[in-house]
Amino acid sequence: MDKLSVLIITYNEEKNIERCLDSVKDVADEIVVVDSFSTDRTEEICKKFDVKFIKQKFLGYIEQKNYAQPHTKFDYILSLDADEALSEELKNSILEEKKKLKYNGYTMNRLTNYCGKWIKHSGWYPDKKLRLFKSDSGKWGGINPHDKFIQNTKIKTAHLKGDILHYSYYTIEEHLKRVEVFSDIAAKALFQSGKKTNIFKIIFSPILKFIRNYFFYRGFLDGRQGYIICKLAARTTYLKYLKLKKLNKKKGVNFEKK
């Protein structure tokens, strides 16, 4: 049977990390946790499991995962976030595939729990992710905070049955706080890559985002939670472009002063 490293990045995840570790213990030949100096019980909980625990100041979602990857020792890596866990079906799919890992990458669906409800629409499912891969086949990329594993070339992948179970937000208030944080991170990432925006994008992109998620992706079928998810996705888009405009304006002011 082939060997597999499980890689998890954490920061103050005492609410989630035990569930995550418990779900992977039967498929992992090694578990590596890279922690951004948590101040809660995250490290204490991890020590109940046989994990390699590394402390590293948070570098950014993409940068942290690229930092963590070389600390694994097996050719194949399963990457999860601390608020994720494997469904029984996905766990069995991985165990079966481990008998002989034939592909450089494996995709799987992610099913998200929002305030106690599993979300099947709203642009949140099936949310296919490439999370099991050969360590030398690529690296993490995308635009923070939305990281994704990017393979070096168009390598053939397989899709595994089962879901990554994502326990996203326990309260709407928690989601609202993350909207502010994620829109900050996204705006700064766009700014650093030289992107600009305008008043039309600030106004119409959020509207189009809501229409797409609520109507075309059938967010209305997720009930009240679906409406809130689609509304806050639109708000995140609005704030991202508004903050990007402010960053570009500030840059212009500073340039003129010089």
Per residue in 221-232, pLDDT (tens digit) is 999 999 999 999
What is the CATH superfamily name and number for domain 4-108+127-163?
Answer: Spore Coat Polysaccharide Biosynthesis Protein SpsA; Chain A (3.90.550.10)
Per residue in 4-35, pLDDT (tens digit) is 999 999 999 999 999 999 999 999 999 999 99
How many angstroms separate the CA atoms of 39 and 9, rounded? 15
Q: What is the mean pLDDT of the segment spanning 125-135?
A: 96
Cα separations in angstroms, 55 against 34, 38, 52, 164: 6, 9, 10, 25
Residues of the chain with pLDDT > 90, as a percent, come to 91
In contact, 10 and 34? CB cutoff 8 Å: yes
> What is the residue extent of each domain of the chain?
4-108+127-163, 172-257
Cα separations in angstroms, 183 against 144, 145, 149: 10, 9, 21
pTM value is: 0.90
Per residue in 151-166, pLDDT (tens digit) is 987 778 999 999 999 9
Q: ∠25-46-41 over CA atoms, to 5°? A: 145
Model confidence at 112: pLDDT above 80: yes
How many angstroms separate the CA atoms of 11 and 13, rounded? 6
